[in-house]
């Protein structure tokens, strides 16, 4: 009598992540192609299937490469981050216009309160995307940040960006 095989509890279900990757690649390909003939669409489908096959063989399709749990929360975070990037750009321009006496470069370490590595990377990348600050290093829960002024570091230490990234993880 054949054994009743149950799914491996150690191996997560990759189907939702594969579908998400397929849709992401399809939309990206369609937006960049601009040609919608049957031949071109067929070649696009074949190339996407090849990429999916290679991604599965490399074992890179998982919850980190396709973070489905962030799908609903990320647009709000991107809007907030865009606003912060605009405000930081204005601040950097102000420092350039006012001259060297307003610039006080600082290199310091701040704590990342995120639970996952992905959350810490999102936080560090958000710091770097904000003009006037660069995440230089990320070790454990410590991020080394270079900023063009002390006010940039004070804004990071106030913790608004840290709290928003932590909310993404929940």
Task: Report how many helices (DSSP H) and strands (DSSP E) the chain contains, helices first.
Answer: 6, 3
pLDDT (tens digit per residue) in 124-136: 999 999 999 999 9
Predicted local confidence at residue 94, as pLDDT: 93
Across residues 104-128, what is the average pLDDT?
Answer: 94
Residue 151 has pLDDT above 50, yes or no: yes
* Helix intervals (H) in 58-140: 74-98, 117-129
Claim: this prediction has a pTM higher than 0.95:
no
Q: What residue ranges in the chain does DSSP mark as E strands?
A: 106-111, 133-139, 142-147
Residue 59 pLDDT: 86
Residue 82 pLDDT: 96
The per-residue pLDDT for range 3-39, each reduced to its tens digit, is 545 455 566 677 888 888 899 899 999 999 888 899 9
Q: What are phi and psi of 56, to 5 degrees?
A: -70, -40
The per-residue pLDDT for range 81-103, each reduced to its tens digit, is 999 999 999 999 999 999 888 89
Nearest to 125 by CA among 85, 169, 158: 85
Does the pLDDT of residue 159 top 90, yes or no?
A: yes
Residue 54 contacts residue 102 (beta carbons within 8 Å): no
Cα–Cα distances (Å) from 62 to 16, 20, 41, in that order, read 9, 11, 27
Among 46-50, 55-59, 122-126, name the one with the lowest average pLDDT. Answer: 55-59
The pLDDT value recorded for residue 11 is: 61
Judging by DSSP bridges, how do beta strands 133-139 and 106-111 pair with one another? unpaired
Residue partners of 71: CB distance under 8 A and separation at least 6: none
Q: pLDDT band for position 140 (50/70/90)?
A: very high
Give the pLDDT of residue 8.
56
Lookup result for tokens 């990377």: 121
The two structure tokens encoding residue 66: 């396709």
Matching residue, tokens 């002024």: 149
The residue among 117, 116, 157 whose CA lies nearest residue 133 is 157
Instruction: Look over the chain and give the mean of its residue pLDDT values, rounded to a whole number.
Output: 88
Provide the β-strand partners of residue 111.
Answer: 142
Tokens for 139, please give them: 């070790």
């Amino acid at each position: 009598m054949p054994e009743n095989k149950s799914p491996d509890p150690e191996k997560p279900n990759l189907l939702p992540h594969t579908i998400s990757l397929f849709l992401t690649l399809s939309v990206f390909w369609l937006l960049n192609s601009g040609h919608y003939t049957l031949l071109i669409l067929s070649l696009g489908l074949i190339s996407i299937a090849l990429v999916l096959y290679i991604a599965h063989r490399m074992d890179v399709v998982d919850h980190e490469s396709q973070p489905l749990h962030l799908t609903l929360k990320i647009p709000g975070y991107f809007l907030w981050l865009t606003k912060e990037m605009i405000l930081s750009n204005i601040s950097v321009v102000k420092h350039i216009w006012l001259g060297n006496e307003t610039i006080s470069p600082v290199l310091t370490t701040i704590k990342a309160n995120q639970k996952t590595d992905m959350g810490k990377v999102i936080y560090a990348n958000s710091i770097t995307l904000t003009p006037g600050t660069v995440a230089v290093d990320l070790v454990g829960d410590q991020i080394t940040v270079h900023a063009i002024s002390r006010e940039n570091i004070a804004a990071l230490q106030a913790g608004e960006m840290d709290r928003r990234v932590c909310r993404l993880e929940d």
